[in-house]
Structure 1
Amino acid sequence: MAETPDTDIDVAARLATVRDQIAAAAQAHARAPNTITLVAISKKKPATMIETALAAGQRDFGENYLQDALDKIDALADAEPAPIWHFVGDIQSNKTRDIAAHFAWAHAVDRFKIARRLSEQRPDDMAPLNICIQVNIDDEDSKSGVAPPDVPELAARIAELPGVCLRGLMTIPAYSDDFEAQRKPFARLRDIQADLVARGFALDTLSMGMTADIDAAIAEGATHVRVGTAIFGARDT
């Protein structure tokens, strides 16, 4: 089946549907919907679609591809209200300067070297960059992220850096279409964060859950859910 052209996608209506889903999941699990931030994953989508989402009240946008993101950040530099930009992809050393200078969040930090570079390259006139440690919760060879036993040491080192603010943890678990199976890795991530908080870390963010497993993530305490396809349609390959 052919993909729906971008011009035929009703972004505002899709956003409303996703917000309703978030609210329903929150209610089902005794949570307040306003404690869950929707990060609209706009990678490979044009700035015009982000403008439409902004007009519909969406503020937070996630990008994976740096140059594509920088073009959109420039195009929307004067937008009101201003977008809040989240870098959600893998971070290589040659990307840190631009991420530090243009984003409010980095969700996929899994090495101290990357965190240190982000801290050193964060402009002095900007607030510290909010970051999450990416945890490879299912020990998948194909995915980035630090192993769960190594999270406390990395968190301790990152917490000392002045140009970043360690906010919490992020994960992309192995795929499952079973709701209870989806919940298990999210519950493990929540437990890892609870352990860090008990050790004295001031963490408030669990970045977990995407289009296919958003309900399970909310059930286990997600504070940031990352949804792209359900809002903007299928991405070009």
Structure 2
Amino acid sequence: MPSTTTSSLSEYSTCEISDALIKLQIANGGYMPDVKMLAPGKICSPAYTVQMAMASDTSAPKYGGGHFVDGVLKDHVVVIDAPPEAKNAVWGGLMSAGALTRGATGAVISGNARDLAEHRSLKFPVFARSHSTLGQSPFTRVSQVGVPITINPQYPASYSGSGSITPLTISPGDWMIADEDGVVCVPRNLEQQVVELVKRGRAVDDLCMKDILSGKGLAETFRDRRSPK
């Protein structure tokens, strides 16, 4: 039986995994939009999901389970969805310290983080939309933990189109892969299919790189290596 907290997906880049998910017709190749590396490190772990809400939002559920970091599961990555209008951070250095001691592998935040030097000193990988000097109180609060969360792409207020990237839903236990290129979510039931596709894709790309470095043109290389036989 495959491990529940380790995966062969860790051997591959987020770009390779997105390509495989596109072939499986997963919207946006599992890409988590607008999130970038703030504290370095690679992550390949199941998601421990957290939904945040504005403190002023009285309609959102209220979480009563103590501090959510204390419940982080070993070998999981904390994945947080914060309201897009929140300009404060929802993750800081003390949270990284607490998550690290509980065996978490990193934090991925559709929102802001702060205390960048502390995350880096702890060698705790953190990925977020951006960073802020403001802490969580009195701006935002935890609403739910261990529920599916939906990450919506951020567009400028002046943009009136529908956009090419659709919302991404992340369920507890889905695989989160994060590296210098970005963050990708792999639904747990697709793990083995994705592994098989990325293995084949890497073999083809290795041949493409060899051909291109030897002087062959890209059009010829792609025709020879990538075109269906």
User: Is the pair's TM-score, using the shorter chain for normalization, greater than 0.5?
Assistant: no
The structure where helix makes up a greater share of residues is 1
Give TM-score, length-normalised by structure 1: 0.30
Give TM-score, length-normalised by structure 2: 0.31
Greater relative contact order: 1 or 2 (C-alpha under 8 angstroms, separation 6 or more)?
2
